[in-house]
Each structure stands twice: as structure tokens, then as C-alpha cells.
Amino acid sequence: MSEPFGTRLRQAMDKRGPLCVGIDPHAALLAKWGLPDNPVGLAAFADTVIDAIGDLVPVVKPQSAFFERHGSAGIAVLERLIGLASQAGALVLLDVKRGDIGSTAAGYADAYLRDGSSLAADAITVSPFLGVGSLDPVFDTALEYGRGVFVLALTSNPEAPSVQHARTPDGRTVAQAVLDDLAVRNAGATPLGSIGAVVGATIGQTGHDLTRLNGPFLAPGIGAQGGTPEGLRAVFGDALSAVLPAVSREVLAAGPSPEALRKATEEHLQRCVAAVTRG
């Protein structure tokens, strides 16, 4: 990559607006679209989504699990989707939530972030709960190849607070310690660091300081999970300009009509632009 991911993401968001569309082809959605729950249906789904919105949004976020469940043929569809999205000008954030140590972490990094891999995306999601330092091989590979990483920090699932809000010996929450560590790694980057954080759009005010990250925030939960673009200010405050809201079900439910998919995406995009611009 010729430029760091943070730079490319900032440019894409400035050009197309702040919106990430998740590509989550679970079995029920395939059935709703009248597609078989097999690699053929999976490929038809992926092609339709990218053809409809790949030139519209800055980022698409395929959920790897829904491709992996179809085995090697599903992975082949994912590889093709990554290529098609890139050709359409969208950045690809692969939602894999990997997290391991040592050579295993390096192996994941090679699979998803190294040039030459058929699964290489512009960025991936990772879990830091083996310790943020365990992700160093992932960070190093991402930065070497101009790619990005989004680290789970404050998620909206009900089980999350028992871990993420637990206190470290210095009194910070685990989530704040993660955010602070990422901020150090992004120090000095302009216009945006390449290491981002995942912070749910529905968590409300939690008392955490999000202003020092100097990197992007992925904000899942817009739409079916109850989050709204207008509610992002309550979560992110002065960090709002770095937020990438993510929507999935409310866009995908508009399919299989490409026109309906595009219209639903345009509506969400307009709301997100307005929410971020108005603050």
C-alpha cells in the first residue's frame, strides 16, 4: 500500500462519507433473499451487495464467520469479495476478531494483512484480551504493509462490562487501558492513526476518555441493534469526526433488489453525514 491505512480511511470517509456496511450472509438472510444456504447462494449474495453499494460507501465489513461456515468454497467467495470491493473503490475491513500470541498471532497477521495473501484486507478486527502487547505481530505487519487494525475496546454485548469495565491495579478500566495503549501507538500520526478501536454505538456515556486515540473508531450497532447516527455524539463527544458508524441488517434486509440496497445505504449515509457534520 502506498499510504498508511489511517490516511486512506480519512480520505475515503471525506470523499464518500462516514459509513461502513457489514456483509453478514447468515442462513436466515440468504433464505430471505431466496438464495440457497451454500457457496452458490453465498456468492450470489456477495456479488449483489458489492455491485449495489461497492462504489458508494467508504468501507465494507464482511463477517468472516459466515463465509468460513461454508468451508474452503466459502473462503473462496470471501477472497473474491475482497477483490471486487477493492475494484469498486471500497476499503475492506475484515471482521475476524482474532487474538492470540507469538507465532500464532503472526500467522493470522500474514493471512489477513500481508501483501500476496489472497485474504489480505485493508484492515481487520482483533481482540486484545490476552493483553494488547500480544497483538504486536499484528500491529507490526499492518503498519509495514499500510493496513489497519481495529481493536475491541467497549462493545455493546451484555457480557462485555464484566471484563471491559473491570479495574486495573492503577484504577483505570480494562477498556481505558486498551484505549490508552492504542493512543501511544498512534502518537504523531496524521491525519489519523492506523490502529483503531471498536466502540459500540449503543453504549451511551460510560465515562471513558475517547479523545486521545488519534485513530478511527468503528461504531457497530446502528440500525437493528438500536443505535442511531444522531446518538453518536452521546458516545463519542469530541471524537465524533473519527467515527465510522457501521450498519448491517437494516441495509441487507432491503435486498435482494440492488436498487433497494443502494437506496437504503444512501439513506443511512445521509444521516451519518448529517450527524457527524452537525455534531
pLDDT at residue 226 tops 90: no
Residue 24 — very low, low, confident or very high, per pLDDT cuts 50/70/90? very high
Summarize the confidence of residues 64-89 as an average pLDDT.
Answer: 98
d(CA 149, CA 128): 11
Tell me the β-bridge partners of 128. Answer: none
> Over the stretch 174-224, which tens digit does the pLDDT of each residue have?
999 999 999 999 999 999 999 999 999 999 888 999 999 999 999 999 877
- The range of the structural domain enclosing residue 162 comes to 5-278
> Over the stretch 263-277, which tens digit does the pLDDT of each residue have?
999 999 999 999 987
Q: Which CATH number does the domain housing residue 236 bear? A: 3.20.20.70
Residue 34 Ramachandran class (φ > 0 left, ψ -120 to 50 alpha, else beta): left
Catalytic residues: 97
Whether 186 and 214 have beta carbons less than 8 Å apart is answered as yes
Residue 54 identity (one-letter amino acid): G
Summarize the confidence of residues 112-133 as an average pLDDT.
Answer: 97
Share of the chain above pLDDT 70, in %: 99
pLDDT at residue 99 tops 70: yes
pLDDT at 22: 97
- pTM equals 0.97
pLDDT at residue 35 tops 80: yes
pLDDT at 47: 98
Summarize the confidence of residues 155-164 as an average pLDDT.
Answer: 94
The total number of structural domains in the chain stands at 1
The chain-wide mean pLDDT, for the chain, equals 96
d(CA 181, CA 175): 10
Summarize the confidence of residues 22-51 as an average pLDDT.
Answer: 98
pLDDT at residue 279 tops 60: no
Summarize the confidence of residues 98-124 as an average pLDDT.
Answer: 97
Residue 227 — very low, low, confident or very high, per pLDDT cuts 50/70/90? confident
d(CA 105, CA 99): 7
d(CA 114, CA 131): 23
